[in-house]
Amino acid sequence: MCMDNPGTIEVLSKLKQLHLQIAVVTNGFTKVQHKNLEDCNLLQYIDRIITSEEAGVSKPDKRIFEISLDKCSVAKGDVVMIGDSLTNDIEGTTVISKPIELLEII
Protein backbone atom coordinates (compact mmCIF):
# COMPACT_ATOMS: atom_id res chain seq x y z
CA MET A 1 0.00 0.00 0.00
CA CYS A 2 1.44 3.35 -1.08
CA MET A 3 1.00 6.56 0.83
CA ASP A 4 0.82 9.80 -1.10
CA ASN A 5 3.97 11.61 -0.02
CA PRO A 6 4.50 14.53 -2.38
CA GLY A 7 8.10 14.99 -3.41
CA THR A 8 9.29 11.47 -2.59
CA ILE A 9 10.19 10.51 -6.16
CA GLU A 10 11.78 13.90 -6.79
CA VAL A 11 13.97 13.64 -3.69
CA LEU A 12 15.02 10.06 -4.46
CA SER A 13 15.74 10.99 -8.07
CA LYS A 14 17.93 13.92 -7.00
CA LEU A 15 19.83 11.71 -4.52
CA LYS A 16 20.51 9.20 -7.29
CA GLN A 17 21.73 12.02 -9.58
CA LEU A 18 24.21 12.89 -6.82
CA HIS A 19 25.37 9.24 -6.90
CA LEU A 20 24.33 8.67 -3.30
CA GLN A 21 23.55 5.15 -2.17
CA ILE A 22 20.02 4.67 -0.87
CA ALA A 23 19.19 1.82 1.47
CA VAL A 24 15.95 0.87 3.15
CA VAL A 25 16.16 -0.72 6.59
CA THR A 26 12.78 -2.17 7.44
CA ASN A 27 11.05 -4.51 9.84
CA GLY A 28 9.24 -7.14 7.86
CA PHE A 29 9.58 -9.88 5.33
CA THR A 30 11.95 -9.46 2.39
CA LYS A 31 9.52 -10.53 -0.33
CA VAL A 32 6.74 -8.28 1.00
CA GLN A 33 8.99 -5.24 1.34
CA HIS A 34 10.37 -5.64 -2.20
CA LYS A 35 6.81 -5.85 -3.51
CA ASN A 36 5.74 -2.78 -1.52
CA LEU A 37 8.60 -0.71 -2.94
CA GLU A 38 7.93 -2.00 -6.45
CA ASP A 39 4.19 -1.27 -6.20
CA CYS A 40 4.99 2.29 -5.08
CA ASN A 41 7.42 2.81 -7.99
CA LEU A 42 10.30 3.29 -5.56
CA LEU A 43 12.34 0.14 -6.10
CA GLN A 44 14.29 1.69 -8.98
CA TYR A 45 15.79 4.26 -6.59
CA ILE A 46 16.83 1.80 -3.88
CA ASP A 47 20.30 0.22 -3.86
CA ARG A 48 19.83 -2.08 -0.88
CA ILE A 49 16.96 -3.37 1.22
CA ILE A 50 17.82 -4.76 4.63
CA THR A 51 14.88 -6.45 6.34
CA SER A 52 14.52 -7.72 9.87
CA GLU A 53 13.80 -11.16 8.39
CA GLU A 54 17.18 -11.16 6.66
CA ALA A 55 19.10 -9.53 9.55
CA GLY A 56 17.61 -11.71 12.27
CA VAL A 57 16.87 -8.65 14.44
CA SER A 58 14.30 -5.86 14.21
CA LYS A 59 14.50 -2.11 14.56
CA PRO A 60 15.22 -0.45 16.94
CA ASP A 61 17.92 -3.04 17.76
CA LYS A 62 21.17 -1.34 16.79
CA ARG A 63 22.46 -4.56 15.21
CA ILE A 64 20.17 -4.19 12.20
CA PHE A 65 21.73 -0.78 11.54
CA GLU A 66 25.24 -2.19 11.97
CA ILE A 67 24.35 -4.97 9.50
CA SER A 68 23.11 -2.34 7.05
CA LEU A 69 26.43 -0.46 7.28
CA ASP A 70 28.27 -3.67 6.46
CA LYS A 71 26.00 -4.60 3.56
CA CYS A 72 26.31 -1.10 2.09
CA SER A 73 30.07 -0.89 2.73
CA VAL A 74 29.80 2.54 4.32
CA ALA A 75 31.29 4.11 7.44
CA LYS A 76 29.22 5.37 10.37
CA GLY A 77 29.92 9.01 9.64
CA ASP A 78 28.77 8.75 6.03
CA VAL A 79 25.16 7.90 6.88
CA VAL A 80 22.04 9.97 7.29
CA MET A 81 19.01 8.20 8.70
CA ILE A 82 15.58 9.38 7.67
CA GLY A 83 12.59 7.77 9.34
CA ASP A 84 9.02 8.20 10.44
CA SER A 85 9.19 6.51 13.84
CA LEU A 86 11.15 7.96 16.73
CA THR A 87 11.27 4.56 18.42
CA ASN A 88 11.88 2.19 15.50
CA ASP A 89 13.85 4.38 13.11
CA ILE A 90 15.79 6.78 15.27
CA GLU A 91 16.46 5.09 18.62
CA GLY A 92 18.92 2.49 17.29
CA THR A 93 20.65 4.72 14.77
CA THR A 94 22.75 6.70 17.21
CA VAL A 95 25.32 3.96 16.70
CA ILE A 96 25.60 4.71 12.96
CA SER A 97 24.43 8.22 12.19
CA LYS A 98 25.01 11.73 13.43
CA PRO A 99 22.58 13.99 11.57
CA ILE A 100 19.21 12.37 12.07
CA GLU A 101 16.01 13.49 10.43
CA LEU A 102 12.57 12.57 11.69
CA LEU A 103 9.83 12.90 9.11
CA GLU A 104 6.23 12.97 10.17
CA ILE A 105 4.09 11.13 7.66
CA ILE A 106 0.45 12.05 7.86
Identify the pLDDT of residue 30.
96
Q: What is the pLDDT of residue 71?
A: 93
CB atoms within 10 A of CB 102: 12
pTM for the whole structure: 0.83
Identify the pLDDT of residue 97.
58
Contact partners, residue 27, CB within 8 Å, separation at least 6: 51, 52, 58, 59, 88
How far is 78 from 106, CA to CA, in rounded Å?
29
Amino acid 106: pLDDT: 34
Low-confidence ranges of the chain (pLDDT < 70): 1, 94-106
Per-residue pLDDT at 99: 45
User: Residue 30 belongs to what H/E stretch?
Assistant: helix 30-39
Residue-level pLDDT at 21: 93
Alpha carbon of residue 103 to chain centroid: 12
